[in-house]
Amino acid sequence: MWKSLFYEIILINMGKKKYKVAIIGCGSMSSNHVYGYLTTDKFNIVAISDPHVKAMLEFDSIFAHMKNYSPKHFTDPLEMLDYSDYDVISIGTWHKLHSKWTIEAARHSPRVILCEKPMADSLKTAKEMIKSCEENNVSLIIGHQRRFLPSFIEAKDLISNGEIGKIELIKSDSAMGLFNWSTHHFDMFRFLLNDVECDWVMGSIERSSNRFEREIKIEDKAIGTFGFQNGTVAILLSDLTTNFYQGCMIYGSEGVIDLRTGYLRLFNGKTLGKWELRRIDGTYESLLDSDFEIKEASVRQVKEIYELLCGKIKIHRNHYINGYKALEMASAVYESTRLHEMIKLPLKTLDYPLDLLVDSGHVVPKTNEPYDIRNFLLRDKKGVRDFKLKRFD
């Protein structure tokens, strides 16, 4: 035992140890995880699991040419978890299964679990995930990977250095559901403000259709206003404008930042009345790459997992508390709609407030026919993607 431990310490110090990774759910987001693991050259993908064999074969066709990719296939995640011990388990299933497989994976005691966003389908199930990981001494990370984008980091640094003065207002345009796209925006608000606490939320939604996103009810339109402890106010419009994007406008007392995933523009006293464009290349990917945003952020996210495993850092940038806070801000918009009042955080309602809104008849769709905006991701019985399939057939 001591010899193997001594040998492992030597490998870590030499940077040669490869950590064992297992994947639950072979979809597009897990694909980004795998790209990150393999690009860092610090991990071995040793097992993948998906109910569709074809999905795993598609993974093989994408990654088989890359070093450190030689996974065993499992159609049952439980069988995969029982098969071996893993250092890291990535969970890229649809939202409702995040809590189930995080809890089950934690019972098998990996050192790290990387779960895709949104963290869970409710604050209640998110708390259950946290409890299971803490009881089993597992570091839980939620995949809000844009915290690693060069432009986001640059904007955060500009704010911290006072380049646009006191931050008074942040505005974002989102779409496709508060629990979907908008959780990235909520996490971005907190990241830019150095993870200052959100004190209160007030918002409203419209849901005249019976719309879902990966099996979770979502609204048709939403607006949310968020008050932070440092006095900053953020506003999010979802499906209210056609110009939605990941990023924001940041208004300070002495300047403005226009933040996008690939660049930012700065306007302050030093720019002499003009917008200063800043394009920041990646460490691993070029800005010219069409997939720059997702690839660069995914690799950096995984690189920090490696640093966590090596003991170089104690807390990952995407520590579960940040994923929980983003989920809480989204939930509070629904709760504000339900109670017709400003919501003070922390939120006391742990069930999914949109379910409560619909089940109580407070929000009544004009059509009973449900549809999922991610139907195009569904596979038929042979595992082939079928754009004609409907989730609720």
Please give the angle made by the CA atoms of 132, 137 and 138, to the nearest 5 degrees: 75
Residue 36 token pair: 């990150």
pLDDT at 1 over 80: no
pLDDT, position 367: 87
Question: Domain spanning 147-285+319-393 has what CATH number?
Answer: 3.30.360.10
Distances from the Cα of 370 to the Cα of 46, 149, 209, 215, 360, angstroms: 39, 36, 8, 10, 18
- Provide, rounded to the nearest whole percent, the portion of the chain with pLDDT above 90: 89
* φ, ψ dihedrals at 238, nearest 5°: -120, 120
Q: What is the DSSP string of 98-124?
A: HHHHHHHHHHT--SEEEEPSSS-SSHH
In sequence order, the 6+-apart residues with CB closer than 8 A to the CB of 348 are none
Give residue 378's pLDDT band: very low, low, confident or very high (50, 70, 90).
confident
Is the sign of the CA dihedral 156, 191, 226, 360 positive or negative?
positive
| Strand residues in the chain grouped as ranges (E) | 19-24, 43-49, 69-74, 88-91, 112-115, 139-142, 167-174, 198-206, 211-213, 216-217, 221-228, 233-238, 248-252, 255-259, 264-268, 276-278, 343-344, 371-372
pLDDT, position 375: 84
Task: Give the residue extent of every domain in the chain.
Answer: 2-146+299-318, 147-285+319-393
Lowest mean pLDDT among 127-136, 173-182, 373-382: 373-382
Give residue 6's pLDDT band: very low, low, confident or very high (50, 70, 90).
very low
Tell me which residue of 15, 36, 278, 65 sits closest to 148, measured CA to CA: 36
pLDDT tens digits for range 45-87: 999 999 999 999 999 999 999 999 999 999 999 999 999 999 9
Question: Domain spanning 2-146+299-318 has what CATH number?
Answer: 3.40.50.720
CA-only gyration radius of the chain, Å:
21
Asked if 36 contacts 92 with a C-beta cutoff of 8 angstroms, the reply is no
Amino acid identity, position 369: E
Residue 393 token pair: 């057939």
Asked if 27 contacts 92 with a C-beta cutoff of 8 angstroms, the reply is yes
Q: Do domains 2-146+299-318 and 147-285+319-393 have the same CATH topology?
A: no
Mean pLDDT score of the chain: 93
> Distance between CA atoms of 331 and 350, rounded to whole angstroms?
9
pLDDT at 11 over 80: no
Asked if 146 contacts 152 with a C-beta cutoff of 8 angstroms, the reply is yes
